[in-house]
């Protein structure tokens, strides 16, 4: 099976989100996959090739099985949200093979619960992994007991600075009248937000 690298301190992925008042938006993620990538530098360019082979599945017949000419399921979460064809928010996330679902949490929190982008990024999260559901151990105990009583198999995942199983996001968002831009970042990782 693919290696579970969630919850590991990571320093090989860069996320950049840029927005301006003219509706230009970029949500960019670049990753080496592992420290020092593939350890191959393209001659005369200085470009270091990435390495995400550890995330592929050596068993045939699976989504990320290794085979000639086949790409793998993407492991990043780069999102630009629009309202009436106008960009209103952008997010970029990284960390682990379980990231795809993690990118949805901040968007749901902003759209359905009216949270600002910083609060939305830092809210407690969960992730279904098949028969189990990973939940942030900081969630309310009554909620966790209720879910367990309903038959859900929960796996508590502890989150601390530099160590989380639920993604690492940065983002920017415009207010509805575009009078203010807000920034948000996962406070459990080495991120920063800057405005000009």
Threshold 0.85, pTM exceeds: no
* Mean pLDDT value of segment 184-192: 86
Q: How far apart are CA 95 and CA 56, in angstroms?
A: 15
> What are residue 185's DSSP bridge partners?
170
* Mean pLDDT value of segment 163-187: 83
Q: What is the mean pLDDT of the chain?
A: 82
User: Does 146 score more than 70 pLDDT?
Assistant: yes
Say if CB 49 and CB 40 are below 8 A apart.
yes
And the tokens for 150? 């309903």
105 or 179, higher pLDDT: 105
149 or 30, higher pLDDT: 149
Domains of the chain plus CATH, in order, are 13-185 (3.60.20.40)
Tens-place pLDDT, residues 46-90: 888 877 777 778 888 887 888 888 777 665 678 899 988 889 999
User: Does 32 score more than 90 pLDDT?
Assistant: no
Strands (E), the chain: 13-19, 25-31, 77-83, 86-94, 126-128, 132-136, 153-157, 168-174, 181-185
Say if CB 81 and CB 23 are below 8 A apart.
no
Tens-place pLDDT, residues 108-133: 899 999 999 999 999 988 887 778 88
Nearest to 153 by CA among 128, 173, 175: 128
pLDDT bucket at 21, cuts 50 / 70 / 90:
confident
């Amino acid at each position: 099976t693919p290696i579970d690298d969630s919850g590991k301190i990571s320093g090989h992925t860069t996320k950049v989100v840029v927005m301006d008042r003219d509706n230009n938006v970029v949500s960019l993620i670049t990753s080496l996959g592992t420290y020092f990538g593939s350890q191959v530098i393209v001659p005369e360019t200085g470009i270091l090739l990435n390495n995400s082979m550890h995330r592929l599945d050596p068993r045939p017949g699976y989504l990320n099985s290794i085979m000639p000419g086949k790409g793998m399921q993407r492991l990043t979460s780069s999102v630009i949200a629009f309202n009436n064809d106008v960009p209103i928010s952008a997010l970029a996330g990284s960390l682990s093979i379980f990231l795809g679902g993690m990118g949805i949490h901040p968007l749901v929190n902003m759209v359905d619960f009216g949270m600002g982008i910083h609060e939305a990024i830092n809210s407690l999260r969960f992730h279904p992994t098949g028969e189990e559901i990973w939940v942030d151990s900081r969630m309310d105990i009554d909620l966790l007991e209720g879910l367990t009583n309903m038959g859900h198999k929960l796996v508590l995942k502890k989150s601390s600075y530099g160590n989380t199983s639920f993604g690492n996001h940065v983002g920017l968002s415009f207010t509805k009248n575009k009078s203010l831009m807000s920034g948000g970042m996962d406070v459990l990782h080495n991120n920063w937000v800057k405005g000009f």
